[in-house]
Each structure stands twice: as structure tokens, then as C-alpha cells.
């Protein structure tokens, strides 16, 4: 089970805070976009705690290459790389499998309607 058995929201390794999208990787590990904790958590079958694989484990938000701000949409490719709709940073981030940082691949990081901008992206 992913998340705290009592259903208590929080930032702990066994907690989630508004989980949105669930995806499985090639090993059937579960990835969860943990919206209010500004991170992506990976849960391996049988483990009672998740591991932060994108963003900060303490839930800190930000706009750097190592932080996220309200991640919502999530896709995982055949090499287990992640594509994250980083909603409040108005960007899509590519996060390579095992990497400690991501790269912006769409958007500018600023809200807008220009051809190179995104407006609160939700899904991938």
C-alpha cells in the first residue's frame, strides 16, 4: 500500500499529500505525483515507505532543476525516464532514471500564451 495506513497526509516517506497520477515502471514499481509535497514518490511492492525520485523529499517547492512546484501529470518511458507536468512552474520536465535533477523540455517557467509558454500544464 502506498501512503500512510491511517490516511494522514504529510511529508514523511510513508505519507502522501494529494496524490494525483499513478504510473508503473518496467519493474512494476509505482510512481505517484505527490502534488502538495512537490515531489514524485516511487513505491516498490512490499515496501512501507516511498522514495523521492524527483523533487525534494521534505516537500520544498521551487523552480530549480532539482525542485518541483505542484507536479501533477506524469509519464514514464520504456527506460523508466519521467516526464513531469510541473504545474505551478509552467513547464514540462524530463527527469532521467536515477538522476537527481531534471531538464525543462517545454515551457519557459513563466505563465503565458506565447508559442513557447505553458499555462499551468496538467497532463502529459
Domains and CATH numbers, the chain: 19-55+67-107 (2.40.10.500)
| Residue 7, Ramachandran bin (φ over 0: left; ψ between -120 and 50: alpha; else beta) | left
Q: What would the pLDDT profile of 27-82 be if each residue is shown by its tens digit?
A: 999 999 999 999 999 999 999 999 999 999 999 999 999 999 999 999 999 999 99
Here the cell at position 107 is: 515551457
Among 79, 73, 82, which Cα is nearest to 27's? 79
Coil, helix or strand at residue 3: coil
Spatial distance between the Cα atoms of 12 and 41, rounded to a whole number of angstroms: 11
Q: Provide DSSP, 49-70.
A: S-EEEEE-TT----SSTT--SS
Q: Would you say residue 97 has pLDDT above 80?
A: yes
Spatial distance between the Cα atoms of 79 and 27, rounded to a whole number of angstroms: 10
Phi, psi of 35 (to 5 degrees): -50, -60
The pTM score is 0.94
Amino acid at each position: 500500500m502506498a501512503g500512510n495506513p491511517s490516511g494522514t497526509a504529510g511529508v514523511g516517506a510513508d505519507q502522501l499529500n494529494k496524490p494525483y497520477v499513478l504510473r508503473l515502471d518496467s519493474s512494476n514499481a509505482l510512481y505517484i505525483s505527490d502534488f502538495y509535497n512537490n515531489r514524485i514518490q516511487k513505491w516498490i511492492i512490499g515496501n512501507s515507505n516511498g522514495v523521492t525520485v524527483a523533487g525534494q523529499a521534505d516537500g520544498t517547492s521551487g523552480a530549480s532543476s532539482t525542485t518541483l512546484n505542484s507536479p501533477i501529470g506524469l509519464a514514464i518511458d520504456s527506460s523508466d525516464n519521467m516526464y513531469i507536468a510541473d504545474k505551478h512552474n509552467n513547464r514540462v520536465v524530463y527527469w532521467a532514471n536515477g538522476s537527481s535533477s531534471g531538464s525543462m523540455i517545454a515551457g519557459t517557467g513563466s505563465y503565458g500564451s506565447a508559442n513557447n509558454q505553458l499555462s499551468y500544464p496538467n497532463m502529459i
